[in-house]
Every structure is written in C-alpha cells, then in structure tokens.
Amino acid sequence: MAKFDMLIKGGTIIDGLQTPRYRHDIGIADGKVVEISGNIAPETATRVIDATGKIVAPGFVDLHTHYDSQLFWDPWCTLSGWHGVTSVVIGNCGFGFAPCKPEDRERNMMSLVRNEAVPLATMKAGVPFDWVSFGEFLDSVERTPKGVNVMSFVPLAPIYGYVVGTDEAKDRAATDDELQQMCDLIVEGMDAGGCGISAQIMGVEGNVQLDFDGTPMVTDCMSHRDLVAFSKAMGSTGRGVAQVTGSMDFAEVIARESGRPVIWNALLADGALNQHGGATVLARDAIARLRDLNENQGLRVLPQSLTTNFASQFTFEDYNLADAIPEWKEICTGTIAEKLEKFKDPARRAVLKSIQDERGGLFAAGYTTAEIKVGWIPLDVPDGLALQDRYEGYTIVEIAQREHKHTLDALLDIAVLGELKSGFETKMIMTPPAAMKEVATAPMALPGVSDGGAHTKFVTTGRYPTEMISYWVREHGIMSLEEAHWRLSALPAQAAGLKGRGTIAEGAPADIIVYDYEELDSLPAERAWDYPAGEWRLIQKAKGYNYIIVNGDITFVDGECTQATPGKLLRHGTA
C-alpha cells in the first residue's frame, strides 16, 4: 500500500500565510495534506505530479458568487472552477432560492432574471427545487455532485418572500410577528449550516440591480428596524459573517448589532469607473473609515475590492446595467416586442440623446457610445448575413459616420435590426495600477468581486484570481505573490468562517493549485451555449493552471476537466 494517494514533487510552495516561498514536496492522503518535506520518495505515492518550476499554492476561495442555480448543472461552477477556485460561497447579496413555498418558485426565480441575468428558462430547466426550507436546500446542494466546495449565506430576500411575500414586503412594513418569524428562519438557516446573512441594500434611486419589473429588490426596501433585528438574530447564534452590498453605513449597523464580521461590497479604485457607475467616495476616505471601524470601534468590516479591469459585452435582450438611469431603465424593461417599439420611438431617442450628450458617454461604466463595437449580429433575423457583413467589427462612430446619423441612432438601429440580439462590446476600461494597488492592498481588503454565476451575458469578472496574479502582480507588481495568495485564499477563508482551508498545511484539506507563473493568463472572452434550455453565456477560460486539486482529487489538468466531483458542502464552514 502506498503511503500517499498523491505526491506533488519539486514545486515552489506559497502556503497562503505570507510565508516566503520555499521548494518542498507535498504528500496527500485521504483528501488531506499529510506531509510537507524536502524529499519525499516517489515510490511512496500512487500518483506523482512533477511540479518542477511551478508554483504550488492553496486553491482560491471565491466569496462573492451567485452559483445558487448553476451549481446544479455545472459541478465546477465555471468560470471559477477554471480559474483555480476550489471553494465558493453562494447566497450573496440576499438572493437565493430558499426558503420558498412551491407556489412561489417562479416569482422567486424571476427575481434573479434581471438582477443577475440568469435566464428564467435556464433556471426552470436546471434548478431541481426539491426543497421548501433553507435546510432542505442545503441537503439538495449536498446531494448534488460538486467539483468545488460550496458554502452558503442565508439570503434575506427569500425569507421576506416566504414570510411576507416578495411584492407585499416592498409595499409595507413587516408586522412584529412576521419580523420574529423571519429572525427565527435566520437562526434556523444558520443552524442548518448557513454561514451568515446577506443582503443587497441599494435603495431605490440610482439602483442598478433591480427586480425583473424594474422595481427595487425586496431587500433594497429593508427598514432600519428589520436590519437591526436580523443582525441581532445572527449575532444570537454566536457565529456567522454577514455580507452586504450597499453603503458602508449598513455594514456598520450590522457589525454593531450582531458583533460579527461583515463583508462589505465594494471598495472601488478611483478612476475604475466613472461617477455614474463607480464609487461615490474616494478610495482613501473609504479605507480611512474602514481602518477606524476595525482598529478603534470594535467592529469587523472587511471590504471586497473590485480588482478586475472592466469590459462588458451585451445585447439589449435583457440588459440591466443602465438601470440607474430612469430613461434607460424604461426602454430596457418589458417584453422583447415592447422593448423593440420603445427602441424605435423617436421621442424616447431624443431624450436619450440629450442624456448622452450631457454625460459625454453612455450607461454606467465610463465608456462612450462612439467606442462601442458591434460584436455579433444573429443570423436568424431578416438579412442577417448582410447585416453581419455591414456591421460586425465596426465601432458605433464608424457606422454613424458612414450612415450620417447620431451615434445613439446607430447603436439603437443595429439593436433593432438584430431584434435586440445584436451583440455589442465595450473597450476594456483600465484601472491605473497605483489606484488598484490602493484598494487591493488596503487593510483587510479581499480581492474580487467575482459575481460568478451572475450577469452571465455581460461580464466575466469570475476571472479575478487569474487577473490578480498574471496582470496586477506579474505585470504591475502591486503586491508580492505571497501577499496575493494570502488575499486570494487564507484571508477570505478566515473572513467567511471557512475553517481549516485557504492554506497549505499539514492536516489541512488538499485544495491546491499547481501553475506556471509565466504562462498564467485569462483567455479571450467568448460565448458558450452551455446553459440549460439552450441559453448562452459569456465565458472566459484560463491557461497556465497545470493541476487544480479539490480535497485531494484532480478536477482540471491543463484546463481539461477530469469530471471528478470531490467538492463538499461546507456546513458551518466545515466539512
């Protein structure tokens, strides 16, 4: 009998604890690292991985994902699984599928259609919905084969849906009795294995993450009284971490009332996005306040920093990233037929032109209409082939000049000709390295925001660990590789209460990546028709990861999936 199931030989270990790198061998048995030594004999292992010249590091811990539906048809939770992530946390922003009464399932799924851009048909085909309670949901996740470890927040939106009703809770305050029932459900969810509570609290004005009908999400309407009660309920369990997307004020309230850590989204680099979609406070002011909360106030608030450069590909079929602008939100809601009529309407276009002229750009992310490129025109529209010839690969300003029209007309005409399925691509907005360094290396900053499993047709920010190492560390040196691995694995594991993971240590689960530092990179974004019900999503794969290992089993070899599903449900952060 071999002593080890696997031996990782000759690699350079970066253990996630900011220990300076060293070259050693790692012996793995029964899913755990059992020996780290200088020269382990190959004959002692069933399988030997030659890691000479490679970095051997802990798998990444992705705290901000929305794989709540996708994990049921994609065990590896890609993009994350492709990018070295070995543990994901779901149930972020207050969104999720449990608890949910059978008659509310469609309404529950509808709440993720616009906000997170997961198609309804995909969820209907792919989500088993063999649960009512949150505990039963976790049981279902546990039964499902997984290629990554999964931990879940207890999201607050379904709790409102279950007790008050999603739409009713937007219009009226919960009664005292209902509030108590919701607090009981939080404690019940925590007892079943949830890792804390989560909510998006973005208010009504300027909110870019809305419900399917253009109204705020139910958690956006949450009162101070409810927030305090929910925080106290979590605090009463003596464990857990909260996640909140919104103002830092809410993070402070939760931290104060619960006594527990809070992950706050998001810390944005100055200049990363413009004033219509970026931070409303300077990074240094946000960081100073975070320091004060953590160092002086007895509160634990950890910021998640947005650490990817931003580009977007999109169609207007279900575009929501302009929702912060009321006039754009109005034309981007409704059925496809209704939207087509609005897109053609000269009066609406006149208003949108004046908005565009006033802003000098479009939407939320600082890109101008002129620079947007036509990425694709579908073939299944009248004259599809001719339209492809005429438009694909050209920028909007080139087309506008050629056709002697306003850039907004050029954009919307092509959207209409493609029956809203025409694809557009923005330029990559590059964050200056000094600005990224400020937010990525801020005290307690957690790199991200992945949003894996969400915004599936627009962005590929799930690539963030690869971009951190291959771009921000290797190309720009914003931090050491040792610090990057700490921030990508050990620190998020600690922050979220994921116990015993995120480092390479004897006795710890063998969640390990072996990669080529010089080779590591994200591959170009592409469309993949791999979602249930024939739906497509934007994907971005990686190169340079030689082995991705989860609980001692290899899930990917040089980007190829082994079909292994060694991932576990991490109830209470343990498994």
Q: Provide the binding-site residues for Zn ion, judged by CB under 5 A.
A: 92-93
Specify the residue, 66 or 349, whose C-beta has the smaller distance to Zn ion: 66
Question: In the complex with Zn ion, which residue's Cβ is closer, 97 or 376?
Answer: 97
Other residues' Cβ atoms within 10 Å of the Cβ of residue 133: 16
Closest approach, Cβ 92 to Zn ion, in A, equals 4
- CB count within 10 Å of CB 354 equals 12
Q: Closest separation between CB of residue 304 and Zn ion, Å?
A: 10
DSSP-derived secondary structure letter, 429: B
Find, among 241, 142, 145, 126, the residue nearest to 192 by Cα. Answer: 142
Closest CA to 302 of 256, 250, 257, 267: 267
| DSSP string for 159-180 | HHHHHT-TTHHHHSPPPHHHHH
To which H or E segment does residue 401 belong? helix 396-403
Contact at 8 Å (CB) between 312 and 426? yes
CB burial string 182-191: b at 16+ within 10 A, e below? bbebbbbbbe
- Nearest residue (CB) to Zn ion, 92 versus 426: 92
Give the Cα separation of 168 and 544 in Å (integer): 50
Identify any residues that bridge with 305 across adjacent strands, giving them in sequence order.
267, 447
- Residue 433 dihedral angles phi and psi, to the nearest 5°: -55, -40
| CA dist., res. 77 & res. 508, Å (int) | 22
For Zn ion, the closer of residues 92 and 149 by Cβ is 92
Residue 92 or 460: the one with the smaller Cβ distance to Zn ion is 92
Residue number closest to Zn ion, CB atom: 93
Find the helix or strand (DSSP H, E) in which 359 lies.
Answer: helix 346-359
Minimum CB–partner distance for residue 415 and Zn ion (Å)? 27
Question: Shortest approach of Zn ion to residue 339 CB, angstroms?
Answer: 25
Shortest approach of Zn ion to residue 245 CB, angstroms? 6
**What does 211-251 look like in DSSP terms, one character per residue?**
-TTSSPPGGGG--HHHHHHHHHHHHHTT---EEEEE-HHHH
Least distance (Å) between residue 360 CB and Zn ion: 29
Taking the complex as a whole, the smallest distance from the CB of residue 401 to Zn ion amounts, in Å, to: 39
Task: Extract the tokens encoding 72.
Answer: 């049921």
Name the residue nearer to Zn ion (CB basis): 113 or 554. Answer: 113
* Burial (CB count within 10 angstroms: exposed 0-12, middle 13-18, buried 19+), residue 167: middle
Decide whether 90 or 331 has the Cβ nearer to Zn ion. 90
Q: Quote the least distance from Cβ 284 to Zn ion, whole Å.
A: 25
In the complex with Zn ion, the residue whose CB is nearer, 495 or 549, is 495
Residue with Cβ nearer Zn ion (92 or 307): 92
**Smallest gap from residue 203 Cβ to Zn ion (A):** 16
With respect to Zn ion, which residue has the nearer C-beta, 199 or 352? 199
Q: C-beta of 244: minimal distance to Zn ion in Å?
A: 10
Angle between helices 346-359 and 407-417 (to 10 degrees): 130
